[in-house]
Amino acid sequence: MINFEEELKKFHPSIEVDDAEQAIYNQDLTDMADVLVKLVKDANEEELEEL
């Protein structure tokens, strides 16, 4: 039978996974919500300029 506590003690994350995780978290990614907020803000600014 597998002793999960012993197996967890042996576990070490892969170096590649750590590197990938750092690369992903260190990037400032624009998501769709950011794009929509910018579009609405730009549209509102254009409306105000026309008045």
Query: What's the structural domain count of the chain?
Result: 1
Residue 51 has pLDDT above 80, yes or no: no
Domain that holds residue 42: 14-50
Residue 18 within any structural domain of the chain: yes
Give the integer Cα–Cα distance in Å for 13 and 26: 19
If one compares 37 and 51, the residue with the highest pLDDT of the two is 37
- Residue 25 in domain: yes
18-36, pLDDT tens digit by residue? 788 888 887 777 788 889 9
Question: For residue 14, which amino acid is it?
Answer: S
DSSP string, 7-50: HHHH----HHHHHHHHHHHTS----HHHHHHHHHHHHHHHHHHH
Q: What integer pLDDT is reported at residue 36 of this predicted model? A: 93
